[in-house]
């Protein structure tokens, strides 16, 4: 195995952790008090980082393997974390769903899964307008708990730099709990019952899932009988974190050099991504992510042209380093068949390599007549299925999925095994941003991925 640190990738030219400040930075709050802002950033610069460069480089290696088809990436979590929901149940339930999904994927795809949470830092949100107006009153839009509060009052909506310090602390608590659970054996394949969610009971998918767990249990016991000892590497798994690197002052303050690895690392998370609204080639976000050594991702929406895509690679991965760059396409079920193939063709013609991931959530958001922002399970499923087919037809590979999901019993997306309707949305709609898959719907997506991938790779 090559040591990613020894690969000939050079330091980016003319880059510093502050060079983004000379570019246009869209989606950034206007902090009213610059002394207050500077004090918060100074405090963040002194605080310990949330992840290490070693973990970041080992994730990059795993993403390189996913790029080659030797692994599959499962990236998922809330659209936005909130400070209030930094609680034991929310964190462990989300982890349980991700572990169950990854079990389904490992079992069905017969390859290891790279597990990446959208958590421990997913606190900043892009908005379509800077201001929100209700009954003639205009206030700054809510930009996520790291910036301001969701309540429609002048005090809550004022961008408060102290919230960055609180977001760092909440991220550290989340991280600490996840690490403690994993290290303590929560992810142990000998005990998949640890991941049962109490209220699941009579899920229509429960039988299929239990059969899978039983089959894996048999295989584990068989291997242990053969070798005469317990298989210890089944006791724990790797878990990585990611979030949208939107609030650049925060990311900058956690971007550091470390003693034994060259270059700069954004130590706020393992795997930052650039959202669709901030992916301008000459913008501040691309400039910032260009210079860090983390693996990075960019969301690719339906308006991106093949030429823009190639130029993004020139800037973000000029050395063609494996595992460095992931493109997360989010076209929508209605558009993926026309928008994705020209991008895939251009990449293949140019001999460029990235990890391709499908986000079937953000291109499929709609509003119901009763005013809920929702997504139809059928559209989510259709986008994933089409993604597998379009990549197979283009000679490229779909190496992962990016999902918004929760372990809570919410009713935010329509359809799925329980056929949730618009009336069900009223029962348990809790997201204050995008609608998430609930436990059953998430597990159903994992099963669907396995079915589709098996079908695509079967000899025709």
Of 216-224, 254-262, 275-283, 435-443: span binding ligand PEP (CB under 6 A): 275-283
Encoded tokens for 200 = 């699941």
Please, are residues 74 and 101 in contact by the beta-carbon 8 Å criterion?
yes
Of 94 and 103, CB closest to ligand PEP: 94
Give the one residue of 293, 329, 330, 391 binding ligand PEP; rule: CB under 6 A: 330
Burial class of residue 22, CB neighbours in 10 A (0-12, 13-18, 19+): exposed
The candidate with the shortest Cα–Cα distance to 316, out of 285, 360, 362, is: 285
Q: Is 357 in the site for ligand PEP (CB under 6 A)?
A: no
CA distance 250 to 2: 33
Of 165 and 247, CB closest to Co ion: 247
The candidate with the shortest Cα–Cα distance to 243, out of 320, 99, 145, is: 145
Please, are residues 323 and 67 in contact by the beta-carbon 8 Å criterion?
yes
Give the one residue of 86, 276, 292, 340 binding ligand PEP; rule: CB under 6 A: 276
Q: Is 126 in the site for ligand PEP (CB under 6 A)?
A: yes
| C-alpha to C-alpha distances, 421 to 350, 365, 368, 374, 375, nearest whole angstrom | 45, 15, 10, 11, 11
Give the one residue of 44, 79, 344, 443 binding ligand PEP; rule: CB under 6 A: 79
Encoded tokens for 10 = 């050079």
Q: How far is the CB of 243 from Co ion (least distance, A)?
A: 11
Give the one residue of 17, 51, 66, 79 binding Co ion; rule: CB under 5 A: 79
Q: Is 108 in the site for ligand PEP (CB under 6 A)?
A: no
Half-sphere exposure of 211 (CA within 13 A, CB side): 6
3-state secondary structure 205-238: CHHHHHHHHHHHHHHHHHHHHHHCCCCHHHCCCC
Q: How far is the CB of 3 from ligand PEP (least distance, A)?
A: 32
Q: Is 60 in the site for ligand PEP (CB under 6 A)?
A: no
Q: Is 412 in the site for Co ion (CB under 5 A)?
A: no
Q: How far is the CB of 77 from Co ion (least distance, A)?
A: 10
| Residues of this chain, 377-406, that bind ligand PEP according to CB under 6 A | none
Give the one residue of 159, 161, 275, 435 binding ligand PEP; rule: CB under 6 A: 275
- Sign of the four-CA dihedral 82, 87, 89, 92: positive
SS3 335: coil
From the list ligand PEP, Co ion, none, partner contacted by residue 163 (C-beta under 5 to 8 A by kind): none
Of 164-172, 271-279, 331-339, 381-389: span binding ligand PEP (CB under 6 A): 271-279
Main-chain dihedrals φ then ψ at residue 414, nearest 5 degrees? -85, 150
The DSSP H or E segment spanning 374 is: strand 373-375
Q: How far is the CB of 357 from Co ion (least distance, A)?
A: 15
From the list ligand PEP, Co ion, none, partner contacted by residue 276 (C-beta under 5 to 8 A by kind): ligand PEP
Q: Is 403 in the site for Co ion (CB under 5 A)?
A: no
The candidate with the shortest Cα–Cα distance to 398, out of 67, 65, 46, 27, is: 67
Residues that bind Co ion (CB under 5 A): 79, 434
Residues that bind ligand PEP (CB under 6 A): 79, 126, 244, 275-277, 299, 330, 362, 434
């Amino acid at each position: 195995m090559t040591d990613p640190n020894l690969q000939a990738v050079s330091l980016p030219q003319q880059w510093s952790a502050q060079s983004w400040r000379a570019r246009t930075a869209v989606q950034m709050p206007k902090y009213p008090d610059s002394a207050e802002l500077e004090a918060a950033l100074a405090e963040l610069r002194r605080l310990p980082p949330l992840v290490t460069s070693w973990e970041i480089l080992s994730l990059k290696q795993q993403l390189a393997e996913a790029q080659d088809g030797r692994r599959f990436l499962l990236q998922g979590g809330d659209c936005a974390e909130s400070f209030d929901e930094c609680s034991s149940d929310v964190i462990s339930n989300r982890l349980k769903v991700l572990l169950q999904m990854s079990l389904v994927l490992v079992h069905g795809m017969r390859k290891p899964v790279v597990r990446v949470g959208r958590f421990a830092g997913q606190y900043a949100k892009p908005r379509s307008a800077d201001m929100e107006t209700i009954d003639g009153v205009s206030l700054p839009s809510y930009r996520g708990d790291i910036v301001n509060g969701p309540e429609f009052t002048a005090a809550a909506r004022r961008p408060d730099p102290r919230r960055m310090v609180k977001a760092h602390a909440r991220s550290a608590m989340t991280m600490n709990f996840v690490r403690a659970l994993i290290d303590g054996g929560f992810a142990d394949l000998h005990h998949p019952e640890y991941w049962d969610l109490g209220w699941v009971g009579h899920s229509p998918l429960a039988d299929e899932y239990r059969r899978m767990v039983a089959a894996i249990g048999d295989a584990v016991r068989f291997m242990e009988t053969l070798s005469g000892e317990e298989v210890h590497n089944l006791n724990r798994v790797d878990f990585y974190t990611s979030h949208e690197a939107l609030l650049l002052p925060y990311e900058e303050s956690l971007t550091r050099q470390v003693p034994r690895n060259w270059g700069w690392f954004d130590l706020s998370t393992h795997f930052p991504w650039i959202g669709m609204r901030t992916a301008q080639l000459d913008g501040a976000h691309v400039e910032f992510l260009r210079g860090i050594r983390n693996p990075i991702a960019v969301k690719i929406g339906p308006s991106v042209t093949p030429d823009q895509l190639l130029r993004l690679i020139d800037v973000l991965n000029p050395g063609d380093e494996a595992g460095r760059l992931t493109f997360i396409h989010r076209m929508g079920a209605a558009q993926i068949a026309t928008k994705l193939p020209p991008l895939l063709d251009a990449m293949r013609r140019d001999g460029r390599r990235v990890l391709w991931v499908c986000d079937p959530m953000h291109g499929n958001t709609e509003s119901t007549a009763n005013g809920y922002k929702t997504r139809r399970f059928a559209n989510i499923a259709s986008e994933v299925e089409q993604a597998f087919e379009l990549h197979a037809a283009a000679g490229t590979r779909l190496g992962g999925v990016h999902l918004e999901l929760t372990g809570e019993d919410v009713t935010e997306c329509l359809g799925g095994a329980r056929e949730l309707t618009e009336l069900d949305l009223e029962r348990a709609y809790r997201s204050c941003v995008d609608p998430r898959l609930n436990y059953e719907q998430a597990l159903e997506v994992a099963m669907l991925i396995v079915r589709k991938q098996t079908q695509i790779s079967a000899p025709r």
